[in-house]
Structure 1
């Protein structure tokens, strides 16, 4: 099978999808924004050919390049795994007659108000939401639904640009911020109280062949706004044992069917609280922040290769073992500036070294990143353990023990 892969070089884990495709026998053509000599030796070796373009979101230029590739060899698939690339890639597929995720599905997975309306019509429980183009519309929504509310860009990924507002004054301030950034239309949603997690799948022809559930501690919005918290997300290995997860799985199947997702990775966020289980949003692509690395370590499998096997051969090649729960804890610097050092590393290593998957500890002198940049922006540790509760305890202890100092 011949596969065009969009942007194989950046971010770093993009190369793993190319590796997986090459490992299962695909001929891979890469199209990206970096020059060829920026690609490392292994990545160049996995690619049959590479084309550089100014922007992989330029549908016209991408269509020209893909048609040129088609003049040289038959193209079976065109794959994109970054949120911002999914809709342009779908337009290129349709222009070039390549099967895969449709532009309608990609658009619904990007435009949150439209996504939720389609799923509400399909009976999936979601928060009340709307697309608003003016302050008057936002205030009318607030009058109907009440505070607090969540405001976010219509096509944002994760918590990017997301704000909570608790009253009219905060709403006006947030609308002013969006307006100053040139945002004409935003998504406004009912705030859903409850625990937040995500449900990720590998889906073939609309059927889930691999699935995983992870939990956030604390919820994302709080984690990305509060410096003293060392936030975590943890992938459970109890998915096949705990009956409560069947409700999440059933919701996921209904969402996938409702949005017309065929063969793709998916990343779905959900809340569970006083109002029960509520769908939040879905991306028609793999999760970010190294979640697939955790799933691979916890289930003794290469999920990148499994994705590639599903694309190329139409199904999975192995089973998830569910042997380990696996999680990440983000370690925030105590101040902005430059990292000056660490404390508690030896103690944590002595206690838990055998359960550590890997760690990222930037060298002293490295500039810190803002906490809202995410779980992997500064230091982090990733661990696994057969017992989910014990892993949670271990991650909590690492968060208390290891300190990142900066000035």
Structure 2
């Protein structure tokens, strides 16, 4: 099997996908921008060949790289990055070379918030009213139909980037002044709940879910962006049956195969409202958080699944796993030495966040496990307490 990894060097924790694929006997080929000498040694050992391009955003250049690897190694069976930034590139290459996996046309339902909402509705999952905004007159019509307060997001966008909260007519006027009128926006009813949870997991080549989990955000992505709060989220030991039912329906409706998925919901009383479907694993080091919570190795299991060797489920009871960040420029009540001393038995690892994520999410990320919800809440309070 020939498997091309797009950007095998970055993010660094995703290098483990390449290493585990190699262990499974897969012929792993890399295409990236970094010089070969910059690659970590374990990554070099796992790659049969590495093709350096000047610019991964130059589709023609990357196509030529794929064509060369095809000529030299034979038909390509998979192309993947697992990275939000390269999803469209991955799909374009699969489309061009007729390779298994999500093609360009398949991404429409996961790129546009307006399209996602249609699939959520088809799955019978609650959503809030929304409307696509393409011209100024659409704004007043949306205000009339949906009513304030509303959230305005780029229809094709990632996370909370370029998001507006519209509560008053002054907010609407400000949006009109700042909007470039070329980027379609999606306006939807504001949900008062700040309780966001997820349904995350992995499907096999037939689209069956082989692993799923859920985590809660201590702070919403919008709050992180606006208030520069410390990022904090935690995998739950158990999943609510209704959330599982909604998540399974959505995964079935979107029909993605041999892919990670990351679906966000508002928790609304004893019900849930679907927010967004992400056609990839949750960002940053979240796969590591899943692994610690479930005593599993998803890098290894993904590689095994791709190689046709199946998925090995964990035999251990799940734990809560907290991922909590701190910022270098904040003054905390407890020093790092004090806090790690207190929780040395629960601490799994400490990671420095890549520069691209540090401004939004914090500079250092700590992962800890516990079987106690009470201790979990104490951890969040202790790590975040400021002077």
Q: How far off its partner does 1:270 sit? A: 0.6
Q: Indicate whether 1:359 and 2:359 are aligned.
A: no
| Structure 2: segments with no counterpart, 5+ residues | none
Q: Does the 8 Å contact 1:105/1:260 carry over to 2? A: no
Q: Deviation per CA, 1:92-149, whole angstroms, max 9, x where unpaired?
A: 1121011111323222111111221233244332222232112221221121111121
Q: Deviation per CA, 1:313-370, whole angstroms, max 9, x where unpaired?
A: 26312326343210112223556xxxx99952333233211111122479xxxxx989
- Name the structure 2 match of 1:139: 140
- Name the structure 2 match of 1:348: 339
Query: How many aligned positions are there?
Result: 384
- Name the structure 2 match of 1:66: 66
| Matched ranges for 1:178-327 at <5 A | 178-179=179-180, 183-194=182-193, 195-204=195-204, 205-227=206-228, 229-239=229-239, 245-274=240-269, 276-313=271-308, 315-319=310-314, 321-327=316-322
Q: Does the 8 Å contact 1:18/1:46 carry over to 2? A: yes
**1:237–1:33 distance in 2 versus 1, CA, 3 Å:** same
| Matched ranges for 1:144-159 at <5 A | 144-159=145-160
Q: How far off its partner does 1:158 sit? A: 2.0
Q: Secondary structure at the match of 1:184?
A: coil
Q: Deviation per CA, 1:197-246, whole angstroms, max 9, x where unpaired?
A: 1111111121110011000112221233224x44410001123xxxxx22
Aligned equivalents of 1:98 and 1:371: distance in 2? 31
**Of the candidates 349, 359, 362, which is equivalent to residue 373 of structure 1?**
359
- Worse overlay, 344-353 or 296-305: 344-353
Cα RMSD after superposing both structures: 2.6
Aligned equivalents of 1:290 and 1:183: distance in 2? 34
Q: Secondary structure at the match of 1:397?
A: helix
Aligned equivalents of 2:76 and 2:302: distance in 1? 18
**1:299–1:54 distance in 2 versus 1, CA, 3 Å:** same
| Structure 1: segments with no counterpart, 5+ residues | 240-244, 363-367
Aligned equivalents of 1:66 and 1:361: distance in 2? 33
Q: Does the 8 Å contact 1:268/1:282 carry over to 2? A: yes
Q: Indicate whether 1:114 and 2:109 are aligned.
A: no
**1:30–1:334 distance in 2 versus 1, CA, 3 Å:** closer
**1:71–1:135 distance in 2 versus 1, CA, 3 Å:** same
- Name the structure 2 match of 1:397: 382
Q: Does the 8 Å contact 2:350/2:364 carry over to 1? A: yes
Q: How far off its partner does 1:397 sit? A: 1.7
Aligned equivalents of 1:310 and 1:321: distance in 2? 20
**Of the candidates 382, 385, 388, which is equivalent to residue 367 of structure 2?**
382
Aligned equivalents of 1:196 and 1:331: distance in 2? 21
